Amino acid sequence: MAHTHESNTKRIWFVFALLSVVTIVEVFLGIIKPDALYKTDLFRLNLLNWIFIILTVFKAYYIMWAFMHLEGEKSSLRWSIVAPLVFLIIYLVFILLVEGNYIFDVFAQSHYKWIF
Amino acid sequence: MAATVTTTATTGKTWDGGNEPMAASYGKLMMWFFIVSDALTFSGFLAAYGFSRFKFIGTWPIADEVFTHFPFMHGVDAPMYYVALMTFILIFSSVTMVLAVDAGHKLQKTKVAVYMLLTIVGGLIFVGSQAWEWKNFISGEYGAVESKGGSVLQFVKLGEDGNYERVALEDFAAHLPTERQEKRKSNGIWFESAPALPEYTVEEIAEGLKAHPEVVIKTETITKEKTKEILSREASLAKISDFGMVVKGANLEHNEYGHKLFADFFFFITGFHGFHVFSGVCFNILIFFNVVLGTYEKRRSYEMVEKVGLYWHFVDLVWVFVFTFFYLV
């Protein structure tokens, strides 16, 4: 059996504390929006947004691994779940964001005028 | 555990489901199938949101300026606190859920029931909070004017702290005597009702703007300083000729907070997520009753709690992303 049936209570509370702290940090950053992060861009996205996205993935990892108990599953099951999601989501987001950005550039720089 | 759950006659026959190469039962695998496909659905929605946002990156609403309410703190500008609270409630209900699963492994019936009940309460509070958030978003607080081209013009004045603050329409609109009649089916004007009339006419807003020298217009455009552009008094007055209609709050067609698509995506994505939470609460109630009735005690396995738990954590997982992309980024 992949699971152990011993109690995981300690681990659960640890993950809860971790997720809470990360959420508090996110909200804190979101409210004060430090200029140094908010107004510095890296790959056309500001540092603050990069931090938010990284922290979100961090939270997602802990929810899936600890709460959904992927850490106790066989690695074949873990990979069948995570690999398609990671690949398809990155692929979709990449395509759509590049396209959206392109349309923005067309309206901003060419003769076409977005009237709305 | 597999031995206690899979009690059908096929146990042991490799091609009839007796073999579990991933060491997870049929039901659990199917729940994972569902979760992966549903995760891709939500990814599609959020990616579409990103697409529209990048397309209108120069005029997209700033979330801090949209979601500023907190219960019992009327008029206080409290960006994000409420949604942070909602996030906590949902994460906490995930914790009680996983504690229920944990107690289930140890076959502690009462503990499972109590934790399930707490999870249900958490879910209900979350759905209620979302309803409140929608209510504020739909009814709006300040009101704005939509230009003839469809962009939103909000009204601001210089506050005491040196920052521009929103001005509600009723604080400066003039009151012009006009003959306005709300056309309803019941007054027999026509067989169709006309759209509801806004509180003020465009003329009243225009006259009010002329009469209040401190009020200026905030447009949708985002400046280099990453704030919304605020027009000078002259430019604000010049905009009067462009006034199209008065909007208050948001619906699928008009949105006082800014770009219309923002409201559409807000309703669609948080609505779809809220529907998931609601369904999750229903499943949890069903499982809760089964726990109380002793169904799983007789089976000597609480795997159903685990399966519904997977769904519940998934709902939490989605919220983590919705929270980031709607409220933070």
> B70 CB near a chain A CB, below 8 Å?
no
Q: What is the CATH number of the domain that holds B129?
A: 1.20.120.80
> B315 CB near a chain A CB, below 8 Å?
no
- Chain A contacts in chain B segment 243-272 (CB below 8 A): none
Q: Per this entry, what is the length of chain A?
A: 116
| Residue A59 backbone class (left: φ over 0; alpha: ψ -120 to 50; beta: rest) | alpha
Nearest by CB to B23, from A1, A19, A101: name it: A1
B160 lies in which domain range?
144-176+185-247
Task: Give me the amino acid identity at B72.
Answer: F
Q: ipTM, 2 decimals?
A: 0.88
In a domain, B14, yes or no: no
| Same domain (yes/no): B270, B135 | yes
Look at chain B and report how many structural domains it folds into.
2
pLDDT reported for residue B266: 93
The residue of chain B with its CA nearest to that of A23 is: B84
pLDDT digits (tens, 9 = 90+) for B47-98: 999 999 999 988 899 888 888 777 776 666 777 888 888 999 999 999 999 9
| Same domain (yes/no): B129, B273 | yes
Residue B42 to residues A101, B35, B45, B53, B277, Cα–Cα distance (Å): 21, 10, 5, 16, 14
On the CB side of B134, how many CA atoms lie within 13 Å of its CA?
19
CB contact under 8 A, A74 and B81: no
CA dihedral (B308, B310, B314, B320) in degrees, to 10, reads 110
CB contact under 8 A, B55 and A8: no
> B17 CB near a chain A CB, below 8 Å?
no
Confidence of residue B190 (pLDDT cuts 50, 70, 90): low
| Same domain (yes/no): B156, B235 | yes
Q: Is B297 helix (H, G, I), strand (E, B) or coil?
A: helix
In angstroms, the CA B176 to CA A58 distance is: 57
- Percent of chain A at pLDDT above 70? 90
Average pLDDT over residues B313-323: 94
pLDDT reported for residue B273: 95
pLDDT reported for residue B91: 92
| Same domain (yes/no): B124, B205 | no
pLDDT digits (tens, 9 = 90+) for B114-123: 999 999 999 9
CB contact under 8 A, A63 and B99: no
In a domain, B31, yes or no: yes
pLDDT of residue B202 exceeding 70, the answer is yes
| Same domain (yes/no): B170, B214 | yes
pLDDT reported for residue B3: 45
